[in-house]
Structure 1
Amino acid sequence: MPIIGQSFGLLGALRANTAEKWLEERVRKYGPISKLRLFGKPTVFICGQAANKFLFTAQGKTVESQQPQSTKRILGDRNLLELSGQDHRRIRNALLSFLKPESLKEYVGRMDEEVRKHLQLHWEGKQQVKVLPLMKTLTFNITCSLLFGLKEGEERDKFLAFFQKVLEGVWSVPINLPFTRYNQSLKASARIPNMLKELVLRKKMELEQKGASPRQDLITCLLSMLDDDKKEIMTEKEIIQNAMFVMVAGHDTTSTLLTFIIRLFENEPTVYAAVLQEQEEIAKSKLPGQPLTWEDLAKMKYTWRVAMETLRMFPPVFGSFRKAMTDIEYEDYIIPKGWQIFWTTPMTHMDNNLFPDPSKFDPSRFENQASIPPYSFIPFGGGSRICPGTEFARIETLVAIHYLVTRFTWKLCADNGFSRDLMPVPSQGLPLQIWPRKLS
């Protein structure tokens, strides 16, 4: 179809959970490099370990980040996804000053507090829960607390409603009609910057007048960063758009990972027993009510291997885009300047040559990170654009799993597979029957 091209075909395959087969069929027909049209732009699809290496090492030289028009219109043109060169390094370094492991050590206690509060409100005393909506609520609350400094209340609830609308249209066909997801997402994204602007101004006043700690949340941290001339490193627009980007990037990805870990425990009793044993040993070493520490997380090696294997089999991010900065010669083809380049995560994750018996859930694959073939395991991307929030997601995941497995036991009420609506979505939100448990 003109302009739309194969966009509806790919989106339909994602929602039917047949996107890998859809792409595999393209590879069988046309090989590992082929042209198509996605989201209004001429596109080249490339896949495989060599393709990943090419894209992640060529970043900023012959290719640059290129998001669908829908993403750019919704999140703005000054967020980390859209920037390149010196601007990208400046913003990335600013975000990493808050998100790097050395900085996040001091936030483990606050994550612990948010998780326990969430379980008390939404799990304790319940007989049945739906996991995915609750995990989204949990990750949203953690992000609001640590990144925005927003406590529970009406303001946080408003943000949640608008952000959910924004997420629905990030990967959509950019047809701006009243009944489309794209239109609804655009409307929601127009409201958020004004809300964030008020928040930024409030944080700036707290920083200047009340001596607020620069480390209390991400926005305050970014506001406090100055260059050699004592000028703010990031503009207000950049702070607002990158706050939106971090929220969108972190909200659904970690909630999806947590949901699929809980889902797999039902079908992998040996894995579940090993995770439970590791977490119970840590719980027994704590005094009643004592929060987890950075040192406790370092002991959760097997649990994190389980999370890594879950990311391999069910990556939250299906793929992304780059743009050719010049005519590029690749595999005896010319990729014209300005064309989109589409890459996907599952094509290497489920490659038998890279991960033997890829359909088998096997956390031992990650016992030795050096044994993982390079440019094959890419749930967080790679190269200079690897996700800056990886460590944030690790801490969030380990803290949540610790309390879930040591405080509850469960049984799936229904599991009719899952579809992809940008992220993988289990049918019915993964309903569970739950019971409280005590340390054995």
Structure 2
Amino acid sequence: MEALVQYLLPLVLFPISIALIYLLRKGGFATLKLPPGTTGWPMLGENIHFAVLGPQKFISDRMKKYSPEVFQTSLMGEKMAIFCGAQGNKFLFTNENKLLTSWWPKSLKKALLFPEFVENSLKEVSALKRSFIHDILKPEALKQYIPIMDAMAREHVEKEWAPNEEVKVFPLSKKYTFDLACRLFMSIVDPHDIKKLADPFHLVTNGMFSVPIDLPGTAYSGAIKGGKMVRAELLKIIRDRRKELTESKETAGRDLLSRMLLVTDEDGQFMSEMEISNNIIGLLVASYETTSTAVTFVLKHLAELPHIYNEVFREIMAIAKTKGPDDLLTWEDIEKMKYSWNVARESLRVTPPAQGAFRESVTDFTYAGFTVPKGWKTFWTVHTTHKNPKYFPDPERFDPSRFEGSGPAPYTFVPFGGGPRMCPGKEYARLEVLVFMYNVVRSFKLEKAIPNEKIVFHASPTPMNGLPVRLQPLGK
């Protein structure tokens, strides 16, 4: 009898415990007016709907059904409030470090970071809080990058584009942006050394936003494996550079890696090798995935819209005619590319590379009459303003003139985010896109090989076939 009681007691207590936990949690939120919405299926949340519909339709459907200001959902195993519109953007951007802090999904950190850092907050593993990172990405510091960008873009176009009648823009854009990041951040130029980083890094970016199931054959398993390989290679590079710096007694720092090794914090402590690796990976992700996507879709629009291409060509050739055959682009040349940058910005509006960003609430707060509890995650999304006719009339029409004069209203054009966490690489991306546009447009006229190529969503919007284009060479 006693044995029977010991067996039955847990069976009785378990459902009672579950019921009590549910009632306590429900009671805790009973006094709060939470954002409307649904959390979907247990464990799965609304991840499947998000993946099937894509971010734009997923969010627009729920804005219509629940609220155009803020609604709740469950993504990546987290309770989440989706903020919508310019006011939602403004609220999140201006309350960074007050009501909210930066946050990455654990599955993403597992793919990118050393295991020792996965449980840490994003601020604890990010060197972006260190002022020198912002300093080296300011326009004044970036001016010295322009000739290097131009020389590499020129070489890339001559080697990868010119010998062919047709090329795939997306993979070539990825190759250029990764090669450039390796050159500028770490002074790596040998194709073999770049490949040792590029191949596993491709696994990481392909799978880091996939369903986080680490089983053989899954994309996420590939991302975990690729992340380990990238980190191992970076540690080797970092240790070799540290040895070089010690032997040469270098103090200035010839690139980002050297500066990271030489800098100390307010307590006089050097950054650890793991911390440097974590931050280089973060910068590689930012400069590789989003920038290559931005370049790809700018060229897509130029191939689709001859009247836009012709205006860009006219502006670019006016600059080219002032330069000798071996002269490289300068900051002054880039500043003349006003129409070209408006075209790039309109492309970023229509097809933004990044879909938004996460935050975590550090306290209960109220927005639009609803309470977002402490610990909930938040997400702002580009589509609630970029594709909203209230802010951009006829939003599907490609119109660079939207950016003339004072341009769009504040908090409506947000491809780089805003507030204290605005992407520090915004100006780097601008230079990279414009330099690449310059070298392609002055060399070729483009024609899409697949007129109605489907766009799918992975980490960023992706042309299903890599955006093949036919090249019509031009006299320079």
| Shorter-normalised TM range | over 0.9
| Separation of aligned partners in 2, 1:303 and 1:212 | 40
Equivalent in 396, 415, 424 of residue 379 of structure 1: 415
Shift in Å at residue 207 of structure 1?
2.1
Q: Residue 443 of structure 2 corresponds to which residue in structure 1? A: 407
Equivalent in 276, 284, 294 of residue 247 of structure 1: 284
Q: Are residue 102 (structure 1) and residue 146 (structure 2) matched? A: no
Q: Are residue 305 (structure 1) and residue 367 (structure 2) matched? A: no
| Separation of aligned partners in 1, 2:128 and 2:322 | 42
36 and 227 in structure 1: CA distance in 2 versus 1, 3 angstrom threshold = closer
214 and 170 in structure 1: CA distance in 2 versus 1, 3 angstrom threshold = farther
Equivalent in 401, 410, 429 of residue 466 of structure 2: 429
Letter matched to residue 45 of structure 2: G
Per-residue CA deviation, residues 11-38 of structure 1 (Å, 9 max, x unaligned), is 2222xxxx32221111111113222110
| Separation of aligned partners in 1, 2:318 and 2:92 | 43
> For the Cα contact (< 8 Å) 1:144–1:150, is it kept in 2?
yes
Letter matched to residue 265 of structure 1: L
| Separation of aligned partners in 2, 1:185 and 1:178 | 11
Q: Residue 10 of structure 1 corresponds to which residue in structure 2? A: 50
Shift in Å at residue 45 of structure 1?
1.6
Q: Residue 31 of structure 1 corresponds to which residue in structure 2? A: 67
Per-residue CA deviation, residues 183-232 of structure 1 (Å, 9 max, x unaligned), is 21111111211211111112222222225574422111221223466542
Matched ranges for 1:282-321 at <5 A: 282-321=319-358
Equivalent in 336, 361, 365 of residue 324 of structure 1: 361
Letter matched to residue 434 of structure 2: L
Runs of 5+ unmatched residues, structure 2? 1-40
Equivalent in 426, 431, 434 of residue 398 of structure 1: 434
Per-residue CA deviation, residues 246-275 of structure 1 (Å, 9 max, x unaligned), is 001110211111111111113322211111
What TM-score does the superposition give when structure 1 sets the normalisation length?
0.93
Q: Residue 83 of structure 1 corresponds to which residue in structure 2? A: 122
> For the Cα contact (< 8 Å) 1:146–1:216, is it kept in 2?
no
| Separation of aligned partners in 2, 1:194 and 1:423 | 26
322 and 227 in structure 1: CA distance in 2 versus 1, 3 angstrom threshold = closer
Letter matched to residue 414 of structure 2: I
Instruction: State the percentage of identical aligned residues.
Output: 37
Q: What is the RMSD of the two structures over their aligned residues, measured on CA atoms?
A: 2.0
Give the SS at the match of 2:447: strand
| Separation of aligned partners in 2, 1:235 and 1:100 | 25
Per-residue CA deviation, residues 384-430 of structure 1 (Å, 9 max, x unaligned), is 10001111111111111111011112211113231111211123111
Q: Residue 11 of structure 2 corresponds to which residue in structure 1? A: none
Q: Are residue 204 (structure 1) and residue 254 (structure 2) matched? A: no
Letter matched to residue 194 of structure 1: A
Range with bigger deviation, 28-37 or 382-391: 28-37
Q: Residue 226 of structure 1 corresponds to which residue in structure 2? A: 264
> For the Cα contact (< 8 Å) 1:39–1:172, is it kept in 2?
no
> For the Cα contact (< 8 Å) 2:416–2:426, is it kept in 1?
yes
| Separation of aligned partners in 2, 1:392 and 1:127 | 30
Letter matched to residue 83 of structure 1: L
Aligned pair count reads 431
> For the Cα contact (< 8 Å) 1:100–1:391, is it kept in 2?
yes
> For the Cα contact (< 8 Å) 1:92–1:388, is it kept in 2?
no
Runs of 5+ unmatched residues, structure 1? none
| Separation of aligned partners in 2, 1:227 and 1:23 | 41
Shift in Å at residue 39 of structure 1?
0.7
282 and 349 in structure 1: CA distance in 2 versus 1, 3 angstrom threshold = same
Matched ranges for 1:175-214 at <5 A: 175-212=213-250, 214=252
> For the Cα contact (< 8 Å) 1:409–1:435, is it kept in 2?
yes
> For the Cα contact (< 8 Å) 1:98–1:221, is it kept in 2?
no
| Separation of aligned partners in 2, 1:141 and 1:363 | 30
Range with bigger deviation, 201-210 or 316-325: 201-210
Letter matched to residue 203 of structure 1: R
Letter matched to residue 30 of structure 1: Y
Give the SS at the match of 1:3: coil
| Separation of aligned partners in 1, 2:94 and 2:458 | 29
Matched ranges for 1:81-160 at <5 A: 82-84=121-123, 91-160=129-198
| Separation of aligned partners in 2, 1:259 and 1:380 | 17
Per-residue CA deviation, residues 267-312 of structure 1 (Å, 9 max, x unaligned), is 3222111110111011111111211111111111111111111101
Range with bigger deviation, 375-384 or 264-273: 264-273
Shift in Å at residue 89 of structure 1?
7.8
212 and 293 in structure 1: CA distance in 2 versus 1, 3 angstrom threshold = farther
What TM-score does the superposition give when structure 2 sets the normalisation length?
0.86
Range with bigger deviation, 243-252 or 61-70: 61-70
Range with bigger deviation, 208-217 or 52-61: 208-217
> For the Cα contact (< 8 Å) 1:128–1:434, is it kept in 2?
yes
> For the Cα contact (< 8 Å) 1:69–1:174, is it kept in 2?
no
Shift in Å at residue 82 of structure 1?
4.9
Q: Residue 259 of structure 1 corresponds to which residue in structure 2? A: 296
Matched ranges for 1:313-352 at <5 A: 313-352=350-389
Give the SS at the match of 1:258: helix
> For the Cα contact (< 8 Å) 1:203–1:220, is it kept in 2?
yes
> For the Cα contact (< 8 Å) 1:303–1:398, is it kept in 2?
yes
Per-residue CA deviation, residues 109-134 of structure 1 (Å, 9 max, x unaligned), is 11112111211221112111111000
> For the Cα contact (< 8 Å) 1:72–1:82, is it kept in 2?
no
Shift in Å at residue 59 of structure 1?
0.8
Per-residue CA deviation, residues 130-149 of structure 1 (Å, 9 max, x unaligned), is 11000000101000100121
Range with bigger deviation, 223-232 or 34-43: 223-232
